[in-house]
């Protein structure tokens, strides 16, 4: 290299700080990198007083990036990064000049793959539960002896055949209404909702079976769809689900009035076993006969006891004693009545004598007279009478009219 070339290189060279600042500007001013979603596996994680530091690498381990969640942001995360978990993070790229390194400042962490599906399931379940769709108070009891049962399932699956066979064997003559629906795939939720609506519009069914045979978790995802859950919740008749085999409950199971693990178990639950009903009826008849026979025997024994007791009572003597007692009571009653009658008669005579003494006519008969003024009032005082006033005098026999000519003052007496 010539001196000229060396001078040229020195003149065009930039500092480490300048290069780092240039790279920092490229990274931090890029709109795509200021708000980026990144998916990967957490290969390491440790807490620090300033925040949570972790490393995110791709599934093959060929690339990795350092990440940080500052302490003030940790409580806002939907999920805390743990080693070995697949996650999706949202953040912005930052470069630190002192170390010449870049890292991702994370604002949010979400589960990826199955974890994301689980998060969505939990969020939907919590929201529907808050609305009260899973409350025990909403659960309705199934009819004891339904005349018509509706079935919503796939026409191509084994569940429909199992249900028909079970219903025919347990309850012959039952009307079964079939409303076919897709029970797997993206179109399944809307298909199930429409099938339930058809049962509602028909109006004949008294209970509805929503069923599907066993399958993988992905195949049963339609029963966690909000459209299916709300269709069941809004159904006017009781709904029983028989979905898959032993598993965690789906949201359709939680909102249904009754849930069992298989289509066959659902069919067994909605109708009783006719043969068992007949046997139970025969048992009740036998029990009733035994009870009636025992009551009859008890009555006969009681009647016999009464007969024996009557023989020991000496009924004729007791009747005679009661007759004598009645005769004595009768005589006492007559004597008491006569006594009260005599007392009443004497009292009446006394009252008659008292009334006769107080009778004005009796007083007049003894020579007295009753003087009345013109208005009919009795004259009691001379001061009440004026000269020239007319008076009527009642004698013992007859009445005379007089005119006052003179009033004698009583004080002269």
State pLDDT tens for residues 126-170.
999 999 999 999 999 999 889 999 999 999 888 999 999 999 999
| DSSP code, position 222 | G
Helix (H/G/I), strand (E/B), else coil: 240: strand
State pLDDT tens for residues 353-380.
877 777 777 777 777 777 888 787 877 7
pLDDT tier for residue 385 given thresholds of 50, 70 and 90: confident
More reliable by pLDDT, 6 or 80: 80
State pLDDT tens for residues 216-229.
777 788 999 999 99
Q: String of b and e for 316-328 (b: at least 16 CB within 10 Å)?
A: eeeeeeeeeeeee
Pairwise CA distance, residues 395 & 403, whole Å? 16
For residue 413, the model assigns a pLDDT of 43
Q: Is residue 323 pLDDT above 60, yes or no?
A: yes
For residue 405, the model assigns a pLDDT of 83
Mean predicted lDDT score pLDDT of the chain: 85
Q: Is residue 412 pLDDT above 60, yes or no?
A: no
Pairwise CA distance, residues 58 & 61, whole Å? 5
State pLDDT tens for residues 197-217.
999 999 999 999 999 987 777
Q: What percent of the chain has pLDDT over 90?
A: 37
Main-chain phi, psi angles of 288, to 5 degrees: -65, -45
What residue spans in the chain does CATH classification 2.40.50.140 cover? 3-112
3-112: CATH topology: OB fold (Dihydrolipoamide Acetyltransferase, E2P) (2.40.50)
| Domain 137-272, second-level architecture | 3-Layer(aba) Sandwich (3.40)
For residue 273, the model assigns a pLDDT of 83
Query: What does the DSSP assignment read for 377-403?
Result: PBP--GGG--TT-EEEEE-SS-EEEEE
For residue 114, the model assigns a pLDDT of 62
Q: Is residue 121 pLDDT above 70, yes or no?
A: yes
Could you tell me where the beta strands, DSSP code E, fall in 49-174?
51-57, 64-70, 86-96, 101-111, 148-153
What residue spans in the chain does CATH classification 3.40.50.261 cover? 137-272
- Residues 117-133, mean pLDDT to the nearest whole number: 85
More reliable by pLDDT, 407 or 95: 95
Q: Is residue 58 pLDDT above 80, yes or no?
A: yes
Q: What percent of the chain has pLDDT over 70?
A: 92
The answer to whether the beta carbons of residues 115 and 85 sit under 8 Å apart is: yes
State pLDDT tens for residues 255-295.
999 999 899 999 999 998 877 777 777 888 888 988 998 99
Q: Is residue 253 pLDDT above 90, yes or no?
A: yes
For residue 409, the model assigns a pLDDT of 67
For residue 383, the model assigns a pLDDT of 76
Neighbours of 168 (CB within 10 A): 13
pTM of the predicted structure, to 2 decimals: 0.50
- Residues 313-337, mean pLDDT to the nearest whole number: 85
For residue 53, the model assigns a pLDDT of 94
């Amino acid at each position: 290299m010539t001196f000229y070339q060396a001078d040229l290189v020195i003149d065009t060279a930039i500092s480490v700080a300048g290069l780092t600042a240039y790279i920092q500007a490229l990274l931090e001013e890029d709109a795509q990198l200021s708000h980026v979603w990144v998916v990967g596996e957490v290969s390491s994680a440790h807490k620090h007083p300033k925040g949570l530091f972790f490393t995110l690498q791709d599934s093959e381990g060929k690339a990795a990036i350092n990440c940080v969640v500052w302490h003030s942001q940790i409580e806002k995360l939907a999920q805390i990064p743990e080693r070995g978990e697949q996650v999706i993070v949202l953040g912005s790229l930052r470069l630190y000049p002192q170390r010449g390194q870049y890292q991702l400042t994370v604002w949010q962490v979400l589960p990826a793959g199955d974890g994301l599906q689980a998060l969505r399931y939990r969020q939907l379940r919590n929201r529907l539960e808050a609305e009260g769709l899973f409350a025990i108070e909403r659960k309705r009891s199934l009819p004891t002896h339904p005349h018509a049962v509706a079935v919503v399932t796939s026409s191509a699956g084994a569940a429909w055949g199992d249900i028909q066979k079970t219903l025919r064997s347990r309850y012959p003559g039952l009307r079964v209404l079939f409303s076919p629906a897709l029970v797997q795939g993206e179109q399944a939720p809307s298909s199930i909702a429409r099938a339930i609506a058809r049962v509602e519009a028909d109006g004949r069914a008294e209970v509805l079976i929503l069923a599907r045979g066993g399958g993988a978790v992905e195949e049963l995802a339609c029963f966690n769809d909000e459209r299916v859950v709300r269709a069941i919740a809004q159904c006017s008749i009781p709904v029983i689900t028989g979905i898959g085999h032993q598993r965690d409950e789906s949201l359709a199971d939680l909102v249904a009035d009754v849930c069992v693990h298989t289509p066959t178990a659902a069919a067994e639950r909605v109708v009783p076993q006719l043969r068992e009903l007949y046997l139970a009826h025969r048992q009740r008849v036998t029990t009733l006969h035994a009870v009636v026979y025992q009551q009859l025997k008890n009555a006969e024994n009681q009647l016999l006891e009464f007969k024996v007791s009557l023989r020991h009572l000496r009924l004729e003597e007791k009747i005679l004693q009661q007759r004598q007692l009645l005769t004595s009571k009768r005589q006492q009653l007559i004597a008491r009545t006569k006594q009260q009658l005599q007392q009443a008669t004497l009292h009446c005579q006394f009252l008659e004598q008292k009334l006769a003494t107080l009778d004005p006519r009796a007083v007049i008969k003894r020579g007295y007279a009753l003087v009345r003024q013109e208005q009919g009032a009795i004259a009691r005082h001379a001061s009440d009478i004026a000269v020239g006033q007319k008076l009527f005098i009642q004698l013992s026999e007859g009445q005379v009219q007089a005119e006052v000519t003179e009033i004698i003052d009583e004080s002269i007496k």
